[in-house]
Chain A
C-alpha cells in the first residue's frame, strides 16, 4: 500500500496536521471573540482612565499653551545666571499675559505655578488686572490723533481682506459664528507685530466673545503693537486702505513729544514680582510640555537649577503620609492575621454544620455595606458612643475622662481591621480546610507536644493562606478612602485622602495624579506578587 508512507489525511483529504491546526485556530478565535467585547469595554471604561491619570501626572501643557511667546524667548535664557531675562522676554510676557487675561486663563496658570512658587498666583492676578494701563498710553495718543483708531471698522479695514469684510457686513449673532478674519498679506509683512496681535484679538472676539471685530474696539495690546511696529519699521510705501490714517500715526510716533513706555519697567511697576529672578526661573523650568515636577512634589522634592533637591523640612508632608499609610496598612494587616488565624482554625476544624453556622458571622459583615460598618464604628467609638458609655457605666473610666478612640490612628486601625477581617479569614479558611487533621494527630503520636505539632507541622502548611490573605488585605488597606475619611480625623488619614483632597479641593490634579501613580505602582507590585504566589484564578469569593 503506497498511501501508508504519505502524511496522515483527514476525512476530507487535507493532511491531518493542517486540519487539526485549523480547528485549533478556529477554537482560539471563537474564544477571543467571546472575550473581546468585555476586554474592549474594560479597556475603554477602566484602563483608559488609568492611562489618562498616568499621563496627567507628567503633563504640563498649561504654561506652554498660555505663555507660548514667553516660553520660546526663555528657552534661550540662561536661568542659572542671576540676571533677569532681556527686554524681549518682558515684551513676550506682556503679550502672553494680556491675551491670557482677556481669555481669563491667567488665574489658572497662576494657580498652577503657585504650586511651585508661592506668590505667583497673585502676581498673575494683579498683572492681568493692570495690563491695560500699558496699552492705554498708546491708545490714548492714537485716539487723540484720530478717533478712528479706537473703532472696530477702521481697524478691520486696515487689517482684513476685502472679501472678509464684505462677508462680515450685516452679520448677526443668530447667523452662527463668523468666519475667521483673514489679515491681508501686505499688512502682515508691513506690520508683523500688529497683524499678529490683531489676529489674536479678532479670533478671540469671533470665537469666544461671539462678536464681530467690525463692531469691537481692539485691545490696547494692538495699539502697543502698532507703536512697536511704527517705531521700528518704515510704512511710507504703504498704499492700501486707510493709508492716510496709518501714515499720520507714523508721523506722530516720530515726533519727540510722543509718550512711550518701557514694558519691563511697566511690568515691574505693576507687580515687583516681575523683577524676581525666581519667578522667571519657575516659568522657564515649567515651560516644557512634560514635567517631572509633580512626581518630585509627591516625594517632597522640588526642581532647582542644580537639579532636584529635597524640600524644606517643614514642607515635607508626602513622605510622612506615605510612611504613615504603609505603617497603618501593616498594622491593620498584622492585626487581621492575629484575629483571623484562630477563627479560620476553628472554622476549619469544627464539624461542617457548626462551621457553616459560624461562617455566617463572618460572611454577614462581608456582605454588609461598607458605609453601614463605618457608621457602626463611628457610633461605637465616639466619646459619647457605645463603648465609652459601657466603660463609664462599668466604672472603668470616669465620665470626665472618656477615651478618645475616634478621629485618630487607633480608630482607623480598629474600624479597618473589622472591615477587612473577612478578607483575611476566607483565604486562610480555604487553605486550612485542605490540611488533613491526621497530620497533627500523627505528629502528636510521634511524641510532639501540642505546640511543636502546631508550629512544625500545621503552621508551615497554613502559611500560603496567611500570605494570600495578607497581600489581599494590605492591597485593600493601602488604598482605602472612606473609612479613614470618616473615622481618621487628621492623624489617621491615608494617602488616598490626600489624593481626594487634591482632586476636589485644591484642584492640583497633576499632583493628585502623581500621588495616585505612586500608590498604583505599589499596589501593582503587590498584585504581581499575589498573582505569583496565589494565582489570580484562585481568588474565591464567599
Chain B
C-alpha cells in the first residue's frame, strides 16, 4: 500500500544524497587503505555518478539490468581491492548502491509515509529507523558472531586472516569434534540432560496444580501465596544459591543430584505459575460446569476438558522451566559438586580460565536449541490464542 505516489526527484537532491552515502562508506574503505579523505572524495563521486546514470540514463525501464550491472561492477572492484572477502563486500555494496540510487532518485522513500510530512519529518523518520536498526544489530550481533567463530581452525577467539579470506583451511569442525569426544563435555551434557527434565517435571507437576488452585474465584491469601511462589524469580540468584548452599549442606543435600534437582525445580516454578495462570485467565469455567452437568467426574473433566485447553500454557511453562534449569549456573555452582557439573558450569569455568573455543561450538549448538525452543513457544502461544479466540492469527 502506498500512501504517497513516488515521483522522480530533481538531480540537485539525488546526487548529493546518494553521493553522501558513498562518502560515508568511502571513509571506511579509505581509512582501511591509507587515506580517509581520498576515500570520502572517491566514494562521493562514484555514487553520485552512479545515481546520475541510474536516474537519467537507465531509468525505471531498465532497473533490473542496471542493478545487476552495479553488483557486478562492485564485485569486480572488491576483488581488486581485497580478494575473496572483497567479493562479499562488493556484493553487498553493489546491491546497496543500486537499491539506494533508485530509492532516492525516484522518491520511493516517501511511499509509505503520510503525504503531508515535511522533509525534516521524513529525515527524522528515517534517522529513527536507522537508530532502531542499529539497536537491533546490537541485540543480535553477539549471537551471530559466535557462529562462524565456532568453525575456527585455530584455537583463537577471533577471526583469523584465513577465515576472512574464506580460505577453507581457516575453517574446521574440530571444536565440534572436541565437544563430541571430550569426556568432560559429554559428562556435562549428560548431567544437564539428567537434571533439567527432572526439575521440569517437578515444577510443572506442582506448578500446574497450584495455578489451577490459584485461578479459582475465592482463594484466601491469594496475594501472599502468589508473592511467595513468584519469589524464586525475583530473589537474586546469588542469594538463592547462598541460602541453598547453607541449608542444603545442613540437611545433607549439598553436592547431590537430588539437591540440584530440587533447587532447579524451585527456580522454575514461577515461570510455570505465570504462564499457566495466564492461560487460565482465558479459560471459560462454564465448560467445567457443562462437563459436570453431562455426568463427568472432576478427574475426567480435568483431563478431557480443562487440560487440552490449557495444554499450550503448560507446555510453554515447561519449556521455560526447562531452559531455566538448563541455563542455570550460579545455583548449581554452589549446590552441586563436581559430579553434577552441568553444561553451563563447564562453560563458565572454561570462560574463566579461557581454555578453548570449544565453548563457542557449544554456544552455537545452544543457540540452535534456543531457536527451536523459541519457535515452539511462539507456535504454542498462537495456537492457544487461536483456540481461545483471542486473536485471528
> Chain A: residues with CB nearer than 8 A to chain B?
24, 27-28, 30-35, 37-39, 41-43, 45-53, 56, 339, 342-343, 346, 352, 358, 360-365, 367-380, 382, 384-386, 389, 393-396, 418, 421-422, 450, 475-476, 478-482, 485-486, 496, 499-500, 503-504, 509, 512-513, 516, 519-520, 523, 527, 531, 536-537, 539-542
- B262 interface residue (CB < 8 Å to A): yes
Query: How many chain B residues have a CB neighbour from A under 8 Å?
Result: 99
Given A361-B136, A540-B278, A379-B238 contact (CB < 8 Å): no
> Are A38 and B139 in contact (CB-based, < 8 A)?
no
| Cβ contacts under 8 Å, B234 to chain A | 475, 523, 527
- B231 interface residue (CB < 8 Å to A): yes
> Are B143 and A35 in contact (CB-based, < 8 A)?
no
- Segment of B7-15, B90-98, B167-175, B327-335 engaged in the interface with chain A: B327-335
Chain A CB within 10 Å, residue with most, of B149, B320, B370, B381 = B370
Partner of B210, one of A38, A475, A537: A38
Q: Is the interface of B mostly helix, strand, loop or mixed?
A: helix
Given A27-B217, A378-B157, A368-B145 contact (CB < 8 Å): no
> Chain B: residues with CB nearer than 8 A to chain A?
28, 31-32, 36, 121, 124, 128-129, 131-132, 135-136, 138-143, 145-146, 149, 156-159, 202, 206-207, 209-210, 212-214, 216-220, 223, 225-232, 234-248, 250, 262-263, 265-266, 269, 271, 274-275, 277-278, 316, 320, 323, 326-327, 329-330, 334, 344, 347-348, 351-352, 359-360, 363, 366-367, 370-371, 373-374, 377-378, 381, 393
A367 to B324 Cα, complex, angstroms: 10
> Are A536 and B230 in contact (CB-based, < 8 A)?
yes
> Are B121 and A479 in contact (CB-based, < 8 A)?
no
A375 to B359 Cα, complex, angstroms: 8
Partner of A46, one of B121, B226, B232, B363: B232
> Are A56 and B246 in contact (CB-based, < 8 A)?
yes
A215 to B298 Cα, complex, angstroms: 71
> Are B230 and A346 in contact (CB-based, < 8 A)?
no
Partner of A479, one of B159, B239, B320: B239
Query: Which chain B residue shows the least CB distance to A539?
Result: B274
> Are A362 and B145 in contact (CB-based, < 8 A)?
no
> Are B246 and A369 in contact (CB-based, < 8 A)?
no
Partner of B246, one of A418, A480, A513: A513
15 new A-B pairs (CB below 8 Å) besides A367-B373, A519-B238? Answer: A38-B209, A39-B229, A53-B239, A343-B136, A346-B132, A364-B140, A364-B374, A369-B327, A369-B363, A380-B141, A476-B236, A481-B236, A481-B238, A516-B239, A537-B277
> Are B139 and A531 in contact (CB-based, < 8 A)?
no
Taking the closest CB of chain B, its distance from the CB of A451, in whole angstroms, is: 10
A500 to B132 Cα, complex, angstroms: 38
> Are A35 and B351 in contact (CB-based, < 8 A)?
no
A481 to B323 Cα, complex, angstroms: 18
> Are B265 and A368 in contact (CB-based, < 8 A)?
no
> Are A368 and B278 in contact (CB-based, < 8 A)?
no
